[in-house]
Amino acid sequence: MDDNRLKHHLLIITQFHPWYRVLLEERNITLSGTDTESELALDRLPLLTAPLLNRHYFSQPPRQEAGLSLFRTSGTSSGTRKAIYYSQDDDDRYIKAKKDSFQEWLGEDNSISRALADMGTGHAASTALTIFAELGIQGEAISFTAPIEEHIAKLRSFKPELLYTMPSILEAIADAVPRNEHFGLRKIIVVGELATSEWQANMAARFHLTTHDILDTYGSIEVGAIAAYSHELGAYVLADGIVGESLPAQDISDEFQPLQQNEGVLVLTSYSRTLFPVIRFVTYDVVRDFRTILHDGKQLQVFSCMTKRIGSELKHGEKISLYDIEEVVSRHLEDASLRVMVQDNKLKLYIKSDHLTDERLSIIKLEVEEQIEDIGQMIRNRLLQGIEVIPVGNREELPSGTVKAKKLYQ
């Protein structure tokens, strides 16, 4: 990381967030002209963990500056929705990052003319129509809170060539219409939830597309655009202006158990954010095979996949890889909707599929236990009592009971 650029950005951050200057001073970093290069090394800066942010950022009174955008976290882990602010400059940089990512994937000579945004209520949803417009694409939107029948009616009437949505919503759409109906879609962009490579391949086939016609993007309300999957590189590539680190879980908190050797907790520093201090921000997302590569003369930071999210809300949750579980299920069931729950110390897999036979149920249960080493070890060590695969007849029987849901439940 360029030391002068880091110092300049830290000066901006401390202006917006005076409490961050105090954190630096506690580490004898004053941002004065006498600071040495080593004093500004990234690894000397504090990790912005959830407890630290709760103590400083989220305890502040509401910001009063003009022209701010306010978004709130889902509150699924803490039960409390927290305020995240964007300045106009923050918004502009976010929109540019998403636009550049979509443009690179679509190609300069793409002929997409209509796009539908069908997702949640966060930052990605609120900016989608602006991004489409800047790409020269006619855009419309529908809220995830609408009944699934309205989603389908919108697809049939508007006939978008590009659908920008969430994996669980795409599953719900696919489940609600005949298998030969694909709405004339040519491209699909997904955001907000886990989308394994097997799941993407199954969804591509379901809508008569290739895997290259699906773009999986990764972001958060706090950071904005973080990464997008490159089919050329076979990896997720961090967005420009973001510097990543992959740290052992124990470096985040001694409450966490060690991860696999090729896994780490993603920690991010962003030059694109000011009203939220993304300086060694701990995402609590676990990524695999994080590395820096040289591509077309440019250094890129990449990772192969995101496997799960760790946190205090789930005992032993750091050992349960949603990615690996979904890979197993998607390998055997091309139409599966999956929800994973830990209840009474048992791992429960709720699966909606027209093709779930007793034989496939047994195979999935066996492979989750035997091929995912951490889960098998937890069962052998009696940290988990076992695995239960539960067929469900319709989506309403899946945990949460909503269209928008794809996470680890407890």
pLDDT in tens, 236-275: 999 999 999 999 999 999 888 888 899 999 999 999 999 9
* Per-residue pLDDT at 39: 57
Q: Provide the Cα torsion 126, 128, 133, 136; round to 10°.
A: 180
Q: Which residues of 221-248 are buried (b: 16+ CB within 10 A; e: fewer)?
A: bbbbbbbbbbeeeebbbbbebbbbbbbe
* Per-residue pLDDT at 125: 81
Alpha carbon distance 139, 133 (integer Å): 7
Enumerate helices (H) and strands (E) in the chain, giving the number of each. Answer: 12, 19
Strand, helix or coil at 203?
helix
Averaged pLDDT, 215-227: 93
pLDDT at 278 over 50: yes
* Per-residue pLDDT at 33: 60
pLDDT at 344 over 70: yes
Residue 38 confidence class, pLDDT cut points 50, 70, 90: very low
* Per-residue pLDDT at 373: 78
Return the CATH superfamily for domain 47-312. Answer: ANL, N-terminal domain (3.40.50.12780)
Residue ranges covered by each domain of the chain: 1-45, 47-312, 317-409
Averaged pLDDT, 215-225: 93
pLDDT at 319 over 80: no
Arithmetic mean of pLDDT over the chain: 87
Strand stretches in 221-335, DSSP E? 224-230, 235-238, 242-247, 263-270, 281-288, 291-295, 298-303, 305-309
Say how far residue 4 (Cα) sits from the centre of its chain.
30
Is residue 189 within 8 A of residue 124, CB to CB? The reply is no
Say how far residue 193 (Cα) sits from the centre of its chain.
5
Instruction: Burial-class residue 113 by CB neighbours within 10 Å (0-12, 13-18, 19+).
Output: exposed
Task: Determine which of 212-221, 290-299, 305-314 has the lowest per-residue pLDDT on average.
Answer: 305-314
Averaged pLDDT, 126-133: 92
DSSP-derived letter for residue 211 is G
- Parallel, antiparallel, or unpaired: how do β-strands 291-295 and 263-270 relate? unpaired
Task: Determine which of 14-18, 116-120, 313-317, 353-357 has the lowest per-residue pLDDT on average.
Answer: 313-317
pLDDT at 317 over 50: no
pLDDT in tens, 66-100: 888 888 775 544 456 788 999 999 999 999 999 99
**CB-based contacts of 69: which residues, under 8 Å, 6+ apart?**
85, 86, 87, 88, 90, 91, 123, 126
* Per-residue pLDDT at 351: 92
Task: Determine which of 69-78, 85-94, 191-200, 312-321 has the lowest per-residue pLDDT on average.
Answer: 312-321
Listed as own residue / partner, the contacts of 2-7 with beta carbons closer than 8 Å and 24 or more positions apart are 3/37, 3/40, 5/271, 6/40, 6/42, 6/269, 7/31, 7/35, 7/40
Secondary-structure breakdown of the chain: helix, strand, coil percentages, each rounded to the nearest 5: 35, 25, 40
pLDDT at 37 over 60: no
* Per-residue pLDDT at 314: 41
More confident residue, 385 or 393: 393
Q: Among 42-46, 286-290, 347-351, 372-376, name the most confident range.
A: 286-290
* Per-residue pLDDT at 333: 93
* Per-residue pLDDT at 80: 64
The pTM for the full model equals 0.85
Residue 313 confidence class, pLDDT cut points 50, 70, 90: very low
Averaged pLDDT, 295-301: 94
Q: Which fold has domain 317-409?
A: GMP Synthetase; Chain A, domain 3 (3.30.300)
Q: Provide the Cα torsion 153, 154, 158, 163; round to 10°.
A: -120
pLDDT at 362 over 60: yes
DSSP-derived letter for residue 56 is T
* Per-residue pLDDT at 120: 67
Alpha carbon distance 312, 94 (integer Å): 30
Averaged pLDDT, 205-215: 96
Is residue 280 within 8 A of residue 304, CB to CB? The reply is no
Is residue 228 within 8 A of residue 215, CB to CB? The reply is yes
pLDDT in tens, 135-190: 999 999 998 788 889 999 999 999 999 999 988 889 889 989 998 999 999 999 99
Residue 121 confidence class, pLDDT cut points 50, 70, 90: low
